[in-house]
Every structure is written in C-alpha cells, then in structure tokens.
Amino acid sequence: MISLTETGLFSTEQLKVLSRLKVKDVRDLFYYLPRKYIDRTQKLDLRSSRAGDLVTVVGQILHAEMKFAGRRRFTIKVEANGFIIYATFFNAGPYLQKVLQVGTQVACWGKLEVYRGRLSFMHPEWEVMTEDGDAGSTVHTGRIVPIYRITEGMRAAYLTVKSLRQKIETCLQKYEKRIADYISPETLKAWQMPGVAEALHKIHFPATIEETEYARRRMAFDELMLFSVLNEEKKAAIRRIEKSHKIVINLALKKEIEALEKTLPFELTSDQKKAIFGLMQNSTASYPVNHLLMGDVGSGKTLVALLLALVYMRNGLQVAYLAPTEILARQHYQTFLNILPGGSFEGVELIIGKDAAKERRAKLDRLARGDSRLAIGTHALIQDDVSFQNLALIIIDEQHRFGVEQREKLRAKGKTPDLLSMTATPIPRTLTLAYYGDLEPFYLKEKPKDRLKIDTRLFAESDLDRIYKAVRKYVSEGRQVYIIYPVIEESENSDMASLVSEYAALERDVFPDLRLGLLHGRLTGDEKERAMQKFKEGLIQVLVATTVVEVGIDVPNANVIVIRNPDRFGLSQLHQLRGRVGRGEHQSFCILVAPDRLTAEGQQRLDALVRTDDGFELAQTDFQLRGAGEMTGLRQSGASEFHVADLRIHGDLLDKAVEYLQSHPEVQAQFGSLKNIQQALEKGLVLFGN
C-alpha cells in the first residue's frame, strides 16, 4: 500500500499525528470514515431562497478588497447567474487575498443574509473551482460533504475537516483504481452491491444520502467477512483440541433417563426433549463443546440442564452448576434432589458463601477427591480453594449475569470441560452465531402445557389504591403477590432507604392484616433463604422485593406481580420479573405502575411488554431499540462492537459472509494473516488486497 509520505500531501507534523491514530497509508486514510454528512446541495435561487437558508453559490469574483478597520476584513463580490452576492471574512490572512483574486471561479456555501440590502455571506465555506468550473466537481460545497472527526492533535497540525477532505478526495482520485476487490464483478452485480473502490468513493463523496447506505452495506459485508474468517478459525482451533474426557451414552443410561422422565409430575415439552437429546449428542464430541440453551422464562431449562449433568455424572465425571444467586442455587439443588428417585442423592454438593469453614472444607474435600460429582453453587464455586478431580461440564445459569473472567476461572478448574450456557434472554439466531459461533443453540420455545398468558397492564401511580385492592382480593382467594421496587443493590443510595420506609408503610397502613415479607440483596443468605422459604410455603402472602427475585425463583401459587417504576428496568429484566408469575394453574397478572412522565424509549419498552409475553419477540424489540452492543448477554461475550456493521440492519450479511467464505476458501489468504485481520477489525478498517 502507498504510504502517506509517498503521496506528498502531508506535512511531517500531520504524518506524525495521523500515525498516532493508526492512519499510516492511503488505505488507512480511506477508512477514516466520515462521522456525518452535511447536505450542501441547495443552490441559491432568487425566487425561493430566504435569508437564513444554507445555500451554495458558484460564480466569478468581480471585486476583492481587504480593509483594516480595527481588524482585517476581506470582502469579495461574486457574480453568479446574473446576480451579485458578497462574502465577508473577518481577521482574514494574506492567504485568502492571494487565492481569492478577481477573475477566480469560486464556490461558497453558508447562511444567506441580507445586509444593507445586499445578498451576503459571513465566513462561508469556500473553494476555488477547477478549470472547467463544473459545479459537480466541487469538494466542499454544492454537494453532500463528509465531516470527519478532527482531534486536537490534528487541528494543531493544521489538519482541518476541510484540508482532510481535500486530501482524501485527491487520494481517491489518484489511487482508487488500485484498490483490488476479492469479490468478482458478477457476484457484486448479483448482490447489487458496489465494489470496494466504488463503496469507498461513495462513503466519502456520495451523490445522495442513500448512496452512503449502499456503500456502507458493502463495508459492513467486508467487516462481517473478516469477523467470519476469525470465527471459522476459532471454531477450527477448538475442533482440533482433543478433549480429555469421553462421554458414552449406553443403553443403561438412556433407560435411566427415560425412566426418570416418566417419574416427573408433568410431561416434558417436545423442545425440552429435543434439547436433551441434542445436548447429549453434542457431548459425545471429541473436542470441548460449547452448548447454548436459550429458553424463555419458565420454559424449563433447569430440568434439561440437570438431566445433562446426570449424563456426565454417570460417566464418572464431575459437573459444576453455577447460579447467580444463593436462592437459585438452593432451588436447583432442591430440584435435583426431587427428581432423583429416593429423594436424596449422595455426591451432590451445595456450595454457597455462608457455609461454616469446617463444613465447607468437608464439601471441598469430597469434590477434590471426586467422591462428589455435582457442585451446585454461587460465586463461591469460583474461589481458589475449590478444586475438582475431573471437572467435565460447567453449567452456567443466567449466563449474562457472569463475566468472561468468572467463566474462565471456573473452566480452568478442569482440563477441557464442556460448557453449557443458559439464558432466558434469547438472542436472535444471527447474533448467537456471530458471538458464540460454535454450535447451533437449542431453543425452548414451547411453554409447558396449560400455562395461561400473563395479563400485563400499565397503570399510573394514582391507581395504586385500586391496585392494592386487587392485591387484597387475590390474597383472599389464597394467591400470593410480589411487589417489586427498583433498587440498585450495589450502590449506596437512597433507594434502599425508600424501600424500607415503603415497606413499613405497606405493613402499617395498607395491608396491616396480611402477612408481608421483605427480600433484598443486603440481607444475609440465611435471611433471604428464610424469606423465600416462607413465601414458598405460603406463610408470606405479599413479598416486597428488589430484583433479587428476578432470576429463576419459582413459586407457582404467586399470580400477581406489581412492578413499581418499571421504566427503570431494562426490557429483558422486566420480562424476567414478569416470569415470576404465570407458573401455576391460576390466571396471572403483571401490573406496571409507571410514573407520569416516561421517556419515549421507556414508553416503547413498556408498550412492548404489554403487547407480548413472547421472550423472543421482546428480545428482538430490545435489539431494535438498543442494538447488539447493549444487549444483555452480548456485552460480556468478549466480542467487540462492529465499527461499520450494525446487525440490526446488516444481519443478513453475516449469513452471506459465512456462506461466501465456505464456497470461496481462497479469499481468506487475501486478507493476510489472522493477526492482520484481528488488527484490522480492532482498528475499524476493513482491509484487503494491496
């Protein structure tokens, strides 16, 4: 590639500044993409233009004059299409005087003013026209012009938006034909996509704003192509690893699982059956597998995970089941004991923070020796003193609650363990392949039979009395109710204080005759456990809580959830909260008590929630509202955001890129080494050819 030095367009200072921004050659310069565009296509028209309009004028300088009245003032008189317009520049240097001479063809763009009865511009953007004087050949005026990000350093080196724009234009003119394309013209035509050179040209100097989208689509494709190359390579690398454990699914094991399924109080959904079968199948691979199980709240993921755990355990291997909260860890532990015949199971350990030292030691010894096969726990599982004899499967419940580091730390406790990530925030398929890219995910779309749709309604705070009345009615019918407050558990703020006082008020004034309970993150594990247990047993009728209950808690008799200030929660979080009800045979209600003033986005979120209780649809809405970078579960996936591609718009291109790569394996070589590709992606440059 031609270095910037070779172009002869940049001063030493400028080269230095650009190089610090990783712009070293012409290609880097081309990928210094516009931050935005300004439409300067509007021409001055005496019939329709008004003072204040932003317009372009192209004409000849009839008169030029420098005046010194306190400060220097330079004025030119321009004749364009038979009318006269003046342009004035204050504090003008000799440079202007030298360039804008009488007889010169000039283009000016700026705000049209009428000053002392004369059409004028103050400090317009200007440029001297080339010989032919064709307005189409302007760079800075009379067209849609690109605006670039200019850093302090660039400014100090006299690299302004205008000078940079000029240099990019010159380089494009000169070198754009040298840009090679890895896609054939025929394919491009079939895809209705521009070539690289055309795309670059159009992204900098589009004739219309639509053209930028057209160009961007091509660049997005290239970026996703690079991403796919890396992804394929990552996958191939994983497949080359020989896993240290082996899973055999023999007839006895199959029989045991079938028999177990029969003892359940309900029939598995067909999605659950498919997932169990598929996961078991995957687990027999010779390389470490990365299973992903996505299922809406209440779709029954736990059971699927526990049955898979059983497969590993029966193969003499160990499993770690990581849950985000103590309450959930206990609940999963209990579920496991319940599904196993006999009700008790040796070799299952519950590892949570509050264990007494001696008790913990004993549990850890059993795990280290391999006497126990399954460890269900919270973050306490990740601690250094926890070791396994042959850890072969890691299950991560509500995986978006955990960071990459935590996952890796747990993974390091085994040799080449398999991983099962579970989430109730389904991610569009394209995204899973983009970010997890390893194995096809399993979806639990089907809700267990007999589940009624949760009736979700939006109320105002002034409706609280009515709402409390309804709560009282359901409690009198024997049901239970959640009331959720938005408290940021981690922060030392007033939320907690207001929760405690609200609770006192509810207990004293609103429901003095009902049994209330309070659950939040600052309680000790024991206190939380006691509150949960009491709620499960029906001893607490109204549970006032924070998002501690958000994940996973299962109390089928609860049929109403009241959410205060729902606008302060994200869409997936709200959906999760709502999933606390609708778990039993009773019609359930989710009551959103919104403040009077909502942001537009807040309103959209709540509307979406009222409209549907399909988690997949909500995930799609969330994605459309916020983009991939913000989606729970993706933020921590380790993949950085794309620079050009936006999967909301360019999702289809990812599939296209993967397909193209498979049918044209030779293209990879054209991108250079994997390291190059990695760097290119990080830089936001989409490199190829030379």
Residue 598: contacted member of Mg ion, ligand ADP, none (CB under 5 to 8 Å, by partner type): none
For position 300 contacting ligand ADP by CB under 6 A, the verdict is: yes
Contact segment (CB under 6 A) with ligand ADP among 179-187, 196-204, 262-270, 597-605 equals 262-270
The answer to whether the CB of 547 falls within 8 A of the CB of 577 is: yes
The answer to whether the CB of 308 falls within 8 A of the CB of 279 is: yes
The whole-angstrom separation of Cα 257 and Cα 97 is 89
Q: Residues binding Mg ion: what is the number (CB under 5 A)?
A: 1
Among 133, 153, 448, 521, which residue sits at the site for ligand ADP (rule: CB under 6 A)?
448
**At its nearest, how many Å lie between ligand ADP and the CB of residue 325?**
13
Longest dimension (CA), the chain: 102
CA atoms within a 13 Å half-sphere pointing along the CA-CB vector of 454:
33
Query: Closer to ligand ADP at the Cβ: 273 or 361?
Result: 273
For position 261 contacting ligand ADP by CB under 6 A, the verdict is: no
Query: Closer to ligand ADP at the Cβ: 66 or 268?
Result: 268
From residue 568 to residue 607, the character string flagging contacts with ligand ADP as x (rule: CB under 6 A) and all else as - is: ---------------x------------------------
CA angle 286, 290, 291 (to 5 degrees): 110
Query: Closer to ligand ADP at the Cβ: 566 or 615?
Result: 615
The whole-angstrom separation of Cα 65 and Cα 73 is 8
**β-bridge mates for residue 75, sequence order:** 65, 88
For position 426 contacting ligand ADP by CB under 6 A, the verdict is: no
For position 552 contacting Mg ion by CB under 5 A, the verdict is: yes
Mark residue 249 as left, alpha or beta (left: phi above 0; alpha: psi -120 to 50; beta: remaining): beta
**β-bridge mates for residue 30, sequence order:** none
Residue 583: contacted member of Mg ion, ligand ADP, none (CB under 5 to 8 Å, by partner type): ligand ADP
* Neighbour count for residue 157 (Cβ, 10 Å): 19
For position 295 contacting Mg ion by CB under 5 A, the verdict is: no
The answer to whether the CB of 397 falls within 8 A of the CB of 554 is: no
For position 579 contacting Mg ion by CB under 5 A, the verdict is: no
For position 377 contacting ligand ADP by CB under 6 A, the verdict is: no
Residue 53: contacted member of ligand ADP, Mg ion, none (CB under 5 to 8 Å, by partner type): none
The whole-angstrom separation of Cα 339 and Cα 123 is 79
**At its nearest, how many Å lie between Mg ion and the CB of residue 256?**
24
Residue 303: contacted member of ligand ADP, Mg ion, none (CB under 5 to 8 Å, by partner type): ligand ADP
The whole-angstrom separation of Cα 286 and Cα 243 is 6
From residue 507 to residue 546, the character string flagging contacts with Mg ion as x (rule: CB under 5 A) and all else as - is: ----------------------------------------
Give every CB contact of residue 525 below 8 A, 6+ residues apart in sequence. Answer: 326, 352, 353, 354
CA angle 133, 139, 144 (to 5 degrees): 115
The whole-angstrom separation of Cα 244 and Cα 594 is 53
**At its nearest, how many Å lie between ligand ADP and the CB of residue 306?**
9
**At its nearest, how many Å lie between ligand ADP and the CB of residue 583?**
6
Three-class SS of residue 544?
strand
Residue whose CB is nearest to Mg ion in the complex, by number? 552
Q: Where are the alpha helices (DSSP H) in 39-119?
A: 94-99
For position 272 contacting ligand ADP by CB under 6 A, the verdict is: yes
**At its nearest, how many Å lie between ligand ADP and the CB of residue 423?**
9
Nearest to 269 by CA among 292, 294, 303, 293: 303
- Strand runs labelled E in 334-486: 348-351, 374-377, 391-396, 418-423, 442-444, 455-460, 480-484
Query: Closer to ligand ADP at the Cβ: 194 or 300?
Result: 300
For position 295 contacting ligand ADP by CB under 6 A, the verdict is: yes
For position 377 contacting Mg ion by CB under 5 A, the verdict is: no
**At its nearest, how many Å lie between Mg ion and the CB of residue 170?**
60
For position 399 contacting ligand ADP by CB under 6 A, the verdict is: no
Q: Residues binding ligand ADP: what is the number (CB under 6 A)?
A: 17
**At its nearest, how many Å lie between ligand ADP and the CB of residue 424?**
5
**Beta pairing class for 480-484 and 558-564:** parallel
Query: Closer to ligand ADP at the Cβ: 352 or 444?
Result: 444
Would you tell me which residues interact with Mg ion (CB under 5 A)? 552
Would you tell me which residues interact with ligand ADP (CB under 6 A)? 266, 268-269, 272, 295, 297-303, 424, 448, 552, 554, 583
